[in-house]
Structure 1
């Protein structure tokens, strides 16, 4: 019985393969003389495939920030002169815009029966003095007791107090300026019936102005009492001011803090209620000036830069922007000297090894 040709071919091929394997001639790497790659060779091959980035050395330098805040001017002394008694206003002795001096008469109220009351209290005082003198004489002569004398002394003291009270009430009908300044609205008119606490006139002192502004919570910790501030108004005046008040708590709606800057205004050029801008120099601190393009976000959305060490290992360092300028961004949070990846940082991750092309320019600070 003959064997089919396909079977003969299969048997022959199997015998050939078996013979080749038994001969020990095994070709490695496509060549008979190929040798296994060493660890050093494999490392070189791996390094040849590293992602290439460009880095630059940055050194810290002192950075002084200047912030601008907007606000408006306000007269330091703007006093509403109020009545201390009730009465019909007889006359207003000043007009709006007039300059007045401390103690100058502004308004006069109808005295009513106040003068008569003063006269009555004066008569009562005279009687009390006579009674006290008589009691003194009787007590010396032995016809009056010391208790009687003390009683008359108490009546005399009461009469003096009642007269003083009546005189004060009469004086309250003449209302005077509490400070030097300029009369402005609101003010009362002759014939107005004024109650206790009503405004007779308003006196503003223009020689000292205050700028009121709001500072972001980001900077409020660096604002100090007594610090200088350059203030410019929209009307063209500039002044060197001084911070005299910093609010201890933030506005509940804006989360900003009120500050007050005292401004000299001896010539009265700065008006009340004018929009103004203040420049405040913050305390200097060590920071780095890096290109804005070097800033990036990590997977958690934190702002920072990617750095690379001498071994080419990538790290992410969170930073805080202090100021943006045309030259770049001043940031804090970096070590004194650092190699920042300036190109390719968006294509590498923390812990990755990269090939570094170092910018040969002098390290920036």
Structure 2
């Protein structure tokens, strides 16, 4: 169950009980202030007997009398020990592809073949589209022929230089012309290779705006490839909590469809967002079957170490006169003490709270009918030992 929902229910129940207690005290006080008449006639008109008047008087006396004159009330307590609790930080985020690349044309030409459509899966190196060769094949053959000519010229120059008929400068010139011819041939080969546009990695074609017959110039978009394995769950963590999380820490993400994903923290931004003062955090999770899509809303739970906490049932919680959530405890002198708590987590067995000492004797029955500093008679729950601080 959502933690915020449970906390809201607990606070609402406590608030109603708190208000009801105040109404009860006011009604009793008003009943005591009313002047009494001739006994039997007045009691019959009010619908109350002598026994009811006595109970009202005792209740009012217990609530309004000075501390030293109040009737000692009996409460039930139980001793609770703090236990290590794995702390978690909740962050709202979304899924995100680990890689997204926009493929663009590296050569000019008309689209003559499309190998893959939008939404199809591709492997690294798979062809996506091919552009027309135009005159590049002719230029390739021309470059090969020129290389052959330059090699003949160079070899002849070397032989003549060896016999003294050519200078070293002539040999160097022939060598430069041969290298230039080879470079021209490589440029043409690269252009021809670039006519086939290939996937740079395994992924899915998310966008493919080109159509058969379209003419592309260098830099025109061809397709967008996304890689969703692994998948990232990203969010922003506050500056107060960023120091509690480390790279490599385990994390759990609950997706909007109810699916739960386990992962690890792979990145925490070293700088805060200038507008929100929050830090980007990335959780990496396995998505080999690619069921998790990009952009899905997720609730991220980040492990933030351990801290001592008490597990309580929500019924034990109460409110003080200022509306603070807490529990009422009993000290060694059997005096009531209110201790505010912070609800840090919830599970099927109750809520985890922080703010109490290691050992706390908490009032489990009667906490709504006692006040701060009031002396009470304690009846401990079965199995509870006297370990009061």
Choose from 174, 188, 203 the match for 1:181.
203
Q: 1:243 — aligned with what?
A: 265
Equivalent residues of 2:157, 2:174 under 8 A apart: yes
Could you say what secondary structure the match of 1:74 adopts?
A: strand
- Flag the 1:316–1:150 CA change in 2: closer, same or farther, 3 A: farther
Q: Which deviates more, 261-270 or 233-242?
A: 233-242
Whole-Å Cα distance in 2 between the matches of residues 289 and 296 of structure 1?
A: 24
* Structure 1 runs not aligned, ≥5 long: 1-46
- Flag the 1:295–1:186 CA change in 2: closer, same or farther, 3 A: farther
Q: 2:176 — aligned with what?
A: 154
Could you say what secondary structure the match of 2:305 adopts?
A: coil
The reply on whether 1:105 has 2:127 as its aligned counterpart is yes
1:216-235 CA distance string (max 9 Å, x none): 33322222212222233233
Equivalent residues of 1:65, 1:283 under 8 A apart: yes
1:55-83 CA distance string (max 9 Å, x none): 99876532222333332222223332221
- Flag the 1:321–1:295 CA change in 2: closer, same or farther, 3 A: farther
Whole-Å Cα distance in 1 between the matches of residues 171 and 206 of structure 2?
A: 56
Equivalent residues of 1:59, 1:364 under 8 A apart: no
Give the deviation of 1:164 after TM superposition: 1.0
State which structure, 1 or 2, has the greater radius of gyration over its C-alpha atoms.
1
Whole-Å Cα distance in 2 between the matches of residues 359 and 120 of structure 1?
A: 104
* Structure 2 runs not aligned, ≥5 long: 1-66
Give the deviation of 1:159 after TM superposition: 2.0
Equivalent residues of 1:243, 1:261 under 8 A apart: yes
The reply on whether 1:231 has 2:258 as its aligned counterpart is no
- TM (norm. structure 1) is 0.66
Give the deviation of 1:330 after TM superposition: 2.6
1:243-267 CA distance string (max 9 Å, x none): 2122222333333322222222222
Q: 2:99 — aligned with what?
A: 77
- TM (norm. structure 2) is 0.63
Whole-Å Cα distance in 2 between the matches of residues 100 and 289 of structure 1?
A: 51
Give the deviation of 1:175 after TM superposition: 0.8
Choose from 271, 276, 295 the match for 1:273.
295
Choose from 218, 238, 241 the match for 2:240.
218
Whole-Å Cα distance in 2 between the matches of residues 209 and 145 of structure 1?
A: 66
Q: 1:16 — aligned with what?
A: none
Choose from 137, 145, 167 the match for 2:167.
145
Whole-Å Cα distance in 1 between the matches of residues 202 and 86 of structure 2?
A: 41
Equivalent residues of 2:318, 2:328 under 8 A apart: no
Q: Which deviates more, 196-205 or 316-325?
A: 316-325
Could you say what secondary structure the match of 1:218 adopts?
A: coil
Give the deviation of 1:133 after TM superposition: 0.4
Paired residues for 1:120-131 under 5 Å: 120-131=142-153
| Number of aligned positions between the proteins | 312
Equivalent residues of 2:80, 2:362 under 8 A apart: yes
Whole-Å Cα distance in 2 between the matches of residues 258 and 96 of structure 1?
A: 31
The reply on whether 1:331 has 2:388 as its aligned counterpart is no
Could you say what secondary structure the match of 1:69 adopts?
A: strand
Q: 1:252 — aligned with what?
A: 274
Q: Whose helix fraction is larger, Structure 1's or Structure 2's?
A: 2
Q: 1:9 — aligned with what?
A: none
Whole-Å Cα distance in 2 between the matches of residues 296 and 122 of structure 1?
A: 95
Whole-Å Cα distance in 2 between the matches of residues 335 and 97 of structure 1?
A: 58
